[in-house]
Amino acid sequence: MRRYVFDGGTAVITGAASGIGAALARGLADRGSHLVLLDRDGEGIAGVAESICATLPQLRIATYVVDLADADATARIGETLATTHPDTTLLVNNAGVALAGRFDQVDAAQFDAVMAVNFHAVVTMTRALLPVLTAHPGSHVVALSSIFGIVAPPGQTAYCASKFAVRGFLESLRGELAPAGVGVTCVHPGGVRTNIARNAVVGTGLPAAQWEAGRDSFDKLLTLDPADAAATILRAVHRRRPRVLVGRDAVVLDKLARLLPVGNGRLLTAATRKAASR
């Protein structure tokens, strides 16, 4: 399959108001892509769009406010995009949420909400835009899994379940879409400096003090600049890489998972605690 061409294409990006999503929007714009930005933070995506328009006024940029935790709203926006943006050549399923707490500390509604945003929305958006993408051979689908779609530390049952699901979905989808000339890239970021820990939903059974300590410890591990993460992702898309590890920590943990496919959890927990204590 030939390399993906950014210039003149139209990219749909979910979770585009901040973090990796906002950095991807800027990176795609710099490469000549028109943009369709989605987020539940209307003020945030408006700011991203205005910033890009100020320097690249020739690009078309559309914004949509939607909460991907709402299955009906996600289905409706998918239908809208397929009709309104038939020139779409790149779908970036970036939106994601975190949930703090062990399985017995989170309720069913919280668990389901994480699955809705991190996995079900990926499936729904991909299904809605698939006819558009396949109508343009050379198109591409991207979704963000996580390094926690490769290793599964304690206290991340919902998040890991959603990210392993994304990984499996894309690995199967890749083979299905190849004959149509549509590429698929699964992204596994490590510790990228975003607000995902600060904005995490807190399990109903998780004591506040325990959450605050865990949040601060996890925050220390998020060191990679989102712009650097976006550059790595876009380079992988251009080259049609099936999988990309983002950050040195992701590379190390992937190797750990290969060496110790079972039982790497204790080493991961110990390494996380050591890094957080620095």
Q: Which residues are catalytic?
A: 159
3-state secondary structure of 63: strand
3-state secondary structure of 199: coil
* Amino acid (1-letter code) at residue 211: W
End-to-end CA distance of the chain: 45
Cα separation, 32 vs 30, in Å, equals 6
Cα separation, 88 vs 86, in Å, equals 6
Judge contact between 181 and 136, C-beta under 8 A: no
How many residues are given for the chain? 278
Cα separation, 203 vs 201, in Å, equals 7
13-43 in b/e form (b: 16+ CB < 10 A) is: bbbbbbbbbbbbbbbbbebebbbbbbbbeee
Residue 162 phi, psi dihedral angles, 5° rounding: -70, -40
Tell me how far CA of residue 15 lies from CA of 21, 199, 261, in angstroms.
Answer: 6, 13, 31
The contacts of residue 202 (CB under 8 Å, 6+ apart) are 99, 100, 101, 208, 211
